[in-house]
Structure 1
Amino acid sequence: MRCEFLFVMQNMNRGQSLVEVILVVALFAVIAVSVITVLLSSIQMTKQGVEYVAAAGYIKEGIEAVRSIRDRDWAEVTNGTHGLTTTSGYYEFLGTANTIDTVYTRTITIEDVYRMGSLNGDIAPSGVLDANTKKVTINVTWDTLEDKTQNIDSVFYVMNWGILSWTQTTSTEFDAGRENSTDITASGNGEVTLRSNTSDWSGLLSHYQINLDGSGDRIAMQYVPEEDILYVLSLGTSGYEFVALDVSDVSESTPTVLRGMEIADVSDDFVVHNGYAYIANNNDSGEVKVINTTTMTQVNTIDLSGTEDATGVAAYGNKLVVVRGIASTQELFVYNISTPSSMITQLGVTELGVTTTDVGMDSAYAYVGTTHDTKELVVVRLSDFTQVNTLDLIGLDDVTRLIRSGTNLYIGRVNGTAYDAARVSVASPEGALSVAQSIEVGATVNDLSVDPHEESLMLATTHDTKEAIVVNISTFVESASFDVTTTDDAKSVAVYGAEIYLGMTTDAADLSILRTQTTSWNTAQLIGFADKPGTHDGSHIEVVENFTYVTTTNGANEFFIYDTSTPSTPVLLGSLEMSASAMDLQVVGDYAYIATDNKNTELVVIDIRTKTSPVVIGSYDAPGSADGHGILVSGNYAYLGTTSSKNPELYILDISIPSTPTLVGSYNYSADINHFALSGNYLFAATANNSQELAVFNIATPSAPTLVGGYDTLGNADAVTITFSGTLVALGHVSSPNEELILLNVTTPSVPIFLSGTEIGGNVNSIFLDGTSIVYLATNVTNQEFQRWDISTPTSPVRTTTFDLDDEGMGVFYNGTYVFLATRHNSMELQILGPSTVLEYAPEGTFTSQAFDSGSSSTTWDTIEWTKSGIGDIVFRMRTASSETNLVSAKWVGFDGTANTTYSISGQNIVIDPSATGTQWVQWKAYLSGNRITTPILEDVSIVY
């Protein structure tokens, strides 16, 4: 039994050993495989790690290469996918990728960067383009042994750290620029806005009168807004017949002639188009001259068949239309002017059978003005050069000029039995044509111009007193006019922004430039006031330079001197007690002369040299007990008027020694003499004489004045105030059933001629005449104590302005800017009024920056950036040149390097004119446009380079 057991045990031990062996072998196999696997994996991972390290190195090299290119030339950091090369000894972009060691492929992708809201905003998917920042993505790919593609990339941003900028933002910086219908304001430390301008052009003023070369009539003109240049064509003269005037600073300075040329032939019309002028003339072998307007050289001619003179030209796109006098063949010619300096080809001709005077055109039609009695307007279709329509204007008057604007034609005519200007709709050029609106102006219309918003039509006429007429297009009635002060005719007209340009026949003022006032007396406003001590009423007022002299009725003091150099805050300097009411006042030199109601000192003379301490130095006691009423001083004589008495009412005093007035002569008039006006040897007096409210004295012999004439106004009301200018006397009455404002012509002083009498609604206490066009009144009319009247047509005065002084106006004085009034107001005895600021703006205008020198001939201009507020649009053009001299004639271009575009988005990349002489110098021009009620506001501009 024991043996079996041992056997069994031995066998069992052998089996266990075998199992152990098997287990050991299996375990070894597993361990071996694991070790081998680990070893193999380690080898593969080591290889992949090496690849990643290499790829990362190529990424790093790409980053450094992009930065190197950026530092060398930012302009090379362009959008797209790039490879690299160093064949030039430095990094450059080449191709779209690099293959490195036949394993790795590297691509560098560059993209634009946008920012939220502004260039200072956060980076965003869209928004404001930041032209000086680029997004760069560098990607490296390679294939593994298992044919798997691996890649790593890096994203970063590069900025143009080498950039500089030229910024204009302050008033001082903007003031160095040039303004055409724009203004520089102090708001925000400096802003550019459109210039104030009345929308109806009321209040036209002569801004400049310019004497151009020679003496020929200025027969045609054209303003080119892209250039800010006014081109003017003249009839034959001794100098230039064709000139270009720089009007970019017309708001601030007289335009200057940039360049010009002699034409040598008699011209009739011209058009400037895409840098060339086409001049219609009488040269038989070249009826149209082609002029390069930059160099002012003739570069081509167009010879029309026959010998008839060219009378009109018009250009649109690549087409030029020329018309001429009636010929045996054609009168209208169409040319291709895509290459004006070399090849001009004829496209077609049309026989009209009429003598033409002018032509306008659009893309499809030509519109021809003629002298024909039944077809003053002819329409020609340009696609096949066929006459497709005519229009017979009322009457036999010839068309002089026409202009197309939008879907309208505006036509000027010779003055005759019918209208002189008209509007014809050409929305359907081949349909029924008719005159939509017309106006009779009583003169020949030589030229017309329409403002860009088609709100106003400007006429150049032969009218003696209205050489310039403005027509409101919506109503087609006259809204404004201007008299150039000569009897010469206006021959041509152009308009832009706040300026009207008028070409004349006169030699002394060949070019008149008109503008409206920036303020308007249509609405007056209180500028300042003063409450003098006491409650006695103001009575009279005089203003001399920065000082205002006010008198009052009898009270504590009756004479006051104010410093009104700042009209909004008058400052009392000194005062004086006279113990009498002041009845009239005149200040001459160092002395004030006052007529008083003191029966012992009807005239008081005050030394005003020390403004803080005026002092009475002399007086005159007129005989009897009459009151002094009127005083006028001229030279060494004072003329004193008094109330009626048994003694004289007119006294002539020698005041060569102001402290001792001495009687020279007198006149017993037997009625109150209240006020005086003087013209040479004639003294005009406002009186209380019921049959002669105006008395005229000859004072040639001061010791023996004589009454030589007068005028009896309607009714028995007293004349209390009078003024004189030119040949016009304005007389003011106290209230009556009749007129209180009387205008008289005193060309012959002894025989005044009545012009008009106007009811103003109350007493005219004081009157001031501004030339012969405006009169200012101080009255007692409730709520209208101040009144302003337009008397430019003296037979029919028109009240333009009233203002409520809150009490009676007693004295009035106008110093050319403000109206000063003495009133009966208890706390505002001195009131200063001014015109309201015009709250309308020019519809468009330009602002041209000063020239800027970058200091380098290799400057690269990157972007133009600006800040705008307000309502309206602002766009820009730029020009560059090698020198400041060359900059003057450089071309203004937009974002594509041509004059056909503008920069309209802040931050746009700058593209210079390919023909520019260089880039060292730069200048920008802003074009502002608004709706007349509001204005865009330019706050700052920066040029990045």
Structure 2
Amino acid sequence: MIYLGKKLAGQSLIEILLAMALMSIILPALLTGFVASRGGKPQQSRRIEAIALLKEAEEIVRSVRERDWKSFAVNGVYHPTVSGNAWYLDTGSETVNELTRTLAISDVYRDANGLIVASGGSLDTSTKKVDISVSWDMPYLSSITSTVYVTRYIGNRADEQTSQAQFSQGVTDNTQVTNDTGGEVKLATNTKGKWCQPNLSISSVNLPITNVPIAVSAVEGKIYVATGATTSGPAFFNVNVSNTDPPQSQIIGSFDNYQTNAVFGENDYAYLATTNNTKEAVIIDLNNFADPLNKKYAEAGYFNATTDSGSSVSTDANTIFVYNNRGYVTAGNYLYVFNLSSKSGSRPKIGKRINFANSGDKAGEVYVRDVGGDTYAFIAIEGSTVDELKIANVTDPNNNNKWKIVGQINIEPNNCSTLESGKAIFVNPAGTRAYISSTNDASFKEFFIIDTTNKSNPQLVGGIATNPPCTNGGGYEAGGMNPEHSVVVSLAENRAILVGIDASGGADSEEYQVLDTTNEAAPVKCGGLQISSGVYGVASVRETDGDAFSYIITGDGTGELKIIQGGPDGTYLESGTYESATLDMGADVAFNRLITNSVLPNGTTLDFQLSITHDIGGSCNGVTFNYVGPDGTSNTYFPESGGTISLSDSGGYVNPGRCVRYKARLATTDYYVTPEILDVNLNYSP
């Protein structure tokens, strides 16, 4: 019996434990259900009320947007308020019946295809994102949200230009409208000058002199000619050149009574290298006539070359160059530097004079460049000095290491010629290439390109000629022409011009030779002109509108100064602009985006600016257009694909506005291809 009782007691214990386990599972569910049944109705009520507030907020957003976009489209956190009969947005959130409502306005960005993106892309000033939230914490912490994208106005529209007829209403400048693919704008075909196809179709200028001109220099719109073979006649002429097609030229002033060897010109001043032993360099004020009736310029200042002990030298000045308020003049075998912070009176010498050649030798030309914070003078040398080029560091007269000759090169060390000497020099802006022309020799070349990257050890590109045969190595053979001068007319196009006279006993060669320097080691002639009277100097100018010219001085007694138009040797011009016709929208509208479709081959560029303004008396006639880029300033440009248009009112630019134009810049460095504008769309909101 005792054994059976123990067995029944154990069974009861098991039953109790099972009952407790079942209750631990069932009771929480029962309790939760009980609580849920008591809170479900209030939670449902809260949610219904929250949805109503959310939908109301969406409608309020649209109402405020339609009434005033500018006041609406400001990023921040807001809540709706009523004033009079209208809804407005006030800062911060609000609580309505224990429900918190918040409207957060933020920017929208789009990718290149116009699709909204979460990050990156371009700002769309005509679209805003509004995140609406309604939250509550009783009976449970809960919230509902909605996101609304709002545009500036319902029913955005677009004005599109795509046909030849539409584009033809605009203004082309070195551009053209064609119909190859249904209407497009591209760079104009080059029917102007080409460097490798020179001609003398532009009229020449007859200078009132009896001698051959000495030297020529030029800036845009002006040609300066040094003509003083004696001290008794004209020493200098200023020739104005109009920016017309073709250009017109006329003498607008002169300067007398100096024998001259070289000239350097700026817009307001000209500088002469003379034979006067107390005024080796003379400064002419081109805005001041000493004799207005006869248009004779006044002398503004001068420089007297002296030894380092202060004694005047009796050697003629041969070359002159001006750079960064310094003048550089060579007289005999010395380089002198003088101060040009002022142009009047006697100009003081800077530092010691620098010897660059043997006694009795002289410079053919000097060229100055800033390179890496230092200033260098590159000197082409004529005479017995074996080096045709020397490089002087002229940075600091108080530092002996930066006021001396630092490098030189003998182009012909192997006795292939005894006549070679540096006649003229041009240096590229980086200071890494010097282009030198030399006296003619039947057994040697006359034009060379020097690698001056290392100023202390310049090297002839193409290498030094060996003897024999003396015909190898770097350089260009000019035939029977004896060079007088040379100039690089375009580094981008690899073009240089070599001019001169027929060498004694040599063949009758072209005195004006255009060189293709693409192969620096072996330039080749790509064009030329026969000018039997000889060419004694050349200067080149590329105008801001892209037109390019070379100006040559010759022995032609009835037309000493001649103008030759140059330019790219390809199908298209280098650059141009296109300005659309005025688009009258009929009323002020808000412009959203500029959307373009274009063709952009390698080596070409295309960008846009936009101008929007108000009408005058109900018309766009006579309004002034001020072009701006995407930030609303004149310093920026839309890329070839377009972009978001700024909402601003400044500097004559407005948005919204009624009258609009766009302007495009087209350019190429490969003159056989052109960028093309196919379509232009202006997206706007009425």
Structure 2 length normalisation: TM-score? 0.57
Alignment map for 1:727-876 (pairs within 5 Å): 841-842=571-572, 845-850=574-579, 852-853=581-582, 864-869=594-599, 871-872=601-602, 873-876=604-607
TM-superposed CA distance for 1:390, in Å, is 2.5
CA distance in 2, matches of 1:412, 1:877: 41
CA contact (8 A) 1:217 1:510 kept: no
Which residue of 433, 440, 456 corresponds with 2:495?
A: 456
User: Are residues 290 and 91 of structure 1, via their aligned partners in 2, closer, same or farther at CA, if it must alter by over 3 Å?
Assistant: farther
2:502 corresponds to 1:502: no
Residue of structure 2 in register with 1:100 after alignment: 94
Tell me the SS of whatever aligns to 1:140: strand
Residue of structure 1 in register with 2:663 after alignment: 924
Q: Aligned partner of 1:871: which letter?
A: P
Residue of structure 2 in register with 1:404 after alignment: 428
TM-superposed CA distance for 1:932, in Å, is 4.9
CA contact (8 A) 2:609 2:629 kept: yes
Alignment map for 1:854-933 (pairs within 5 Å): 864-869=594-599, 871-872=601-602, 873-876=604-607, 878=609, 897=633, 903-909=638-644, 922=661, 924-929=663-668, 931-932=670-671
CA contact (8 A) 1:217 1:491 kept: no
CA distance in 1, matches of 2:367, 2:151: 60
User: Are residues 325 and 129 of structure 1, via their aligned partners in 2, closer, same or farther at CA, if it must alter by over 3 Å?
Assistant: same
Q: Deviations over 1:858-913 (max 9, x none)?
A: 9987655433336332222548698999989x8998979566x7544412346799
Tell me the SS of whatever aligns to 1:470: strand
Q: Aligned partner of 2:64: which letter?
A: A
The RMSD of aligned alpha carbons is: 6.2
Q: Aligned partner of 1:477: which letter?
A: V
User: Are residues 52 and 862 of structure 1, via their aligned partners in 2, closer, same or farther at CA, if it must alter by over 3 Å?
Assistant: closer
CA contact (8 A) 1:131 1:907 kept: no
Tell me the SS of whatever aligns to 1:60: helix
Q: Aligned partner of 1:190: which letter?
A: G
2:101 corresponds to 1:62: no
- What is the number of equivalent residue pairs in this alignment? 533
Which residue of 225, 228, 234 corresponds with 2:224?
A: 234
TM-superposed CA distance for 1:150, in Å, is 2.3
Residue of structure 2 in register with 1:742 after alignment: none
Tell me the SS of whatever aligns to 1:150: strand
CA distance in 2, matches of 1:69, 1:408: 60
TM-superposed CA distance for 1:478, in Å, is 1.4
TM-superposed CA distance for 1:113, in Å, is 1.9
Residue of structure 1 in register with 2:271 after alignment: 281
TM-superposed CA distance for 1:243, in Å, is 6.5
CA distance in 2, matches of 1:268, 1:213: 16
CA contact (8 A) 1:422 1:439 kept: yes
Q: Deviations over 1:89-108 (max 9, x none)?
A: 999999xx633359433211
Which residue of 102, 111, 120 corresponds with 2:108?
A: 111
CA distance in 2, matches of 1:392, 1:172: 60
* Structure possessing the higher relative contact order (Cα contacts under 8 Å, 6 or more residues apart): 2
Residue of structure 2 in register with 1:378 after alignment: 391
TM-superposed CA distance for 1:402, in Å, is 0.9
Q: Aligned partner of 2:61: which letter?
A: G
Tell me the SS of whatever aligns to 1:187: coil
User: Are residues 371 and 239 of structure 1, via their aligned partners in 2, closer, same or farther at CA, if it must alter by over 3 Å?
Assistant: closer
CA contact (8 A) 2:610 2:629 kept: yes
Tell me the SS of whatever aligns to 2:641: coil
CA distance in 2, matches of 1:443, 1:898: 50
Tell me the SS of whatever aligns to 1:849: strand
CA distance in 2, matches of 1:124, 1:913: 25
Residue of structure 2 in register with 1:511 after alignment: 563
CA contact (8 A) 1:500 1:514 kept: yes
CA distance in 2, matches of 1:369, 1:329: 11
CA contact (8 A) 1:371 1:398 kept: yes
Which residue of 113, 130, 136 corresponds with 1:137?
A: 130
TM-superposed CA distance for 1:472, in Å, is 1.9
CA distance in 1, matches of 2:431, 2:666: 25
Residue of structure 2 in register with 1:439 after alignment: 476
Residue of structure 1 in register with 2:408 after alignment: 391
TM-superposed CA distance for 1:207, in Å, is 6.4
Q: Aligned partner of 2:666: which letter?
A: Y
CA distance in 2, matches of 1:925, 1:212: 41
2:525 corresponds to 1:478: yes
TM-superposed CA distance for 1:110, in Å, is 1.8
CA distance in 2, matches of 1:286, 1:860: 60
CA contact (8 A) 1:471 1:477 kept: yes
- Report percent identity of matched pairs: 9
Tell me the SS of whatever aligns to 1:189: coil
CA distance in 1, matches of 2:638, 2:495: 29
TM-superposed CA distance for 1:468, in Å, is 4.0
Residue of structure 1 in register with 2:148 after alignment: 155
CA contact (8 A) 2:170 2:580 kept: no
Alignment map for 1:175-254 (pairs within 5 Å): 177-180=171-174, 184-191=177-184, 192-193=186-187, 195=189, 202-205=196-199, 208-209=202-203, 219-221=216-218, 230-235=220-225, 241=238, 246=243, 253-254=245-246
Residue of structure 1 in register with 2:167 after alignment: 173
TM-superposed CA distance for 1:135, in Å, is 5.3
TM-superposed CA distance for 1:401, in Å, is 4.0
CA contact (8 A) 1:313 1:360 kept: no
TM-superposed CA distance for 1:325, in Å, is 1.3
CA contact (8 A) 1:891 1:913 kept: no
Tell me the SS of whatever aligns to 1:939: strand
TM-superposed CA distance for 1:173, in Å, is 3.0
CA contact (8 A) 1:240 1:262 kept: yes
TM-superposed CA distance for 1:845, in Å, is 1.8
CA distance in 1, matches of 2:172, 2:406: 46
Residue of structure 2 in register with 1:426 after alignment: 452
Q: Deviations over 1:465-489 (max 9, x none)?
A: 8464221211312121135797665
CA distance in 2, matches of 1:85, 1:244: 68
CA contact (8 A) 1:862 1:944 kept: yes
Query: Structure 2, unaligned stretches of length 5 or more?
Result: 1-31, 227-233, 274-278, 288-299, 306-316, 342-349, 357-362, 412-418, 463-473, 503-507, 614-619
Residue of structure 2 in register with 1:762 after alignment: none
Q: Which deviates more from structure 2 when the two are superposed, residues 847-856 or residues 186-195?
A: 847-856
CA distance in 1, matches of 2:52, 2:172: 61
CA distance in 2, matches of 1:175, 1:207: 32
2:377 corresponds to 1:368: yes
Q: Deviations over 1:714-742 (max 9, x none)?
A: xxxxxxxxxxxxxxxxxxxxxxxxxxxxx
Tell me the SS of whatever aligns to 1:439: coil
CA contact (8 A) 2:204 2:559 kept: no
Q: Bigger radius of gyration, 1 or 2?
A: 1
Q: Deviations over 1:489-545 (max 9, x none)?
A: 55312469996512244869753314689xxxxxxxxxxxxxxxxxxxxxxxxxxxx
CA distance in 2, matches of 1:909, 1:369: 50
